[in-house]
Amino acid sequence: MWNAGIEMSEYKVLTAGDTALVVEFGDRVDRKLSSFVLALARRLDDIRLDGIVETVPTFRSLMVHYDPLVISADALVARIVDLMKGLRTVDHGSREWRLPVCYDPELALDLGDVAARTGLTPGRVIELHASVTYHVYMLGFMPGFAYAGDLPADLVLARREMPRPRVAAGSVAIATTMSTIFPRESPTGWHVIGRSPVALWRRTKSGTGPGALLAPGDKIVFAPISLREYRELAAQAATGAFDLEPANAWTGAAA
């Protein structure tokens, strides 16, 4: 284990087997630590260091996969320590997404339960969930699954005691301080409070294969839509006729 320090934060570089290192920035989940994780990922991407296979941001650390036949662990650690000197977090123009969500009880399986457990009305739960700009901390669990925070304090809940064996793709859910949209059908212990017609895992424009819509560092705003609008957009999405781009000024008046 190697240790070093930077302004406003301390970090540790840990070995993770013989082909990866983990750069840890702290022991909590917050946007400041995330900004350092993403800043280092950008620095490593920018220099295109021979031997680095992939960088994987998490809530509070960056995993760096490398080829030990090209670069040694010691050499990579030395390069990381050098990059960390004077590392600053600056706004690199994060992508912003406005994602439509239908909170109708037909799709919002746990909305009533969330309202009861928080002491709020269903309408207030919806209002709060759609009132903030979320930060994508990391992708994980399944391809395209984005851990987005931070939920308003009144909506923070532990996971369900009894997980659901299956929720539909597009389900919008909350748990602890996070919210997400499920890219595909899946079991979950998260609380489902809506559904989005947006495909979170889709083919890339180059046609080379599927890719995640969201990425660490992206910002998300959830835009409430009616059940009718959801059905229309879902039908378009099924044929590839409905798609979104970053900062897309999508607007829809709930009926």
Read off the pLDDT of residues 170-222 as tens digits, 9 standing for 90 and up. Answer: 999 999 999 999 999 999 999 999 999 998 886 655 555 558 899 999 999 99
Domains of the chain: 2-84 (3.30.1360.40), 96-238 (2.40.100.10)
pTM: predicted TM-score of the whole model, two decimal places: 0.86
b/e sequence 87-98, b meaning 16+ C-beta within 10 Å? bebeeeebbebb
Tens digit of pLDDT for each residue in 49-75? 999 999 999 999 999 999 999 999 999
Q: How far is residue 11 from each of residues 2, 140, 220, measured CA to CA in Å?
A: 9, 22, 28
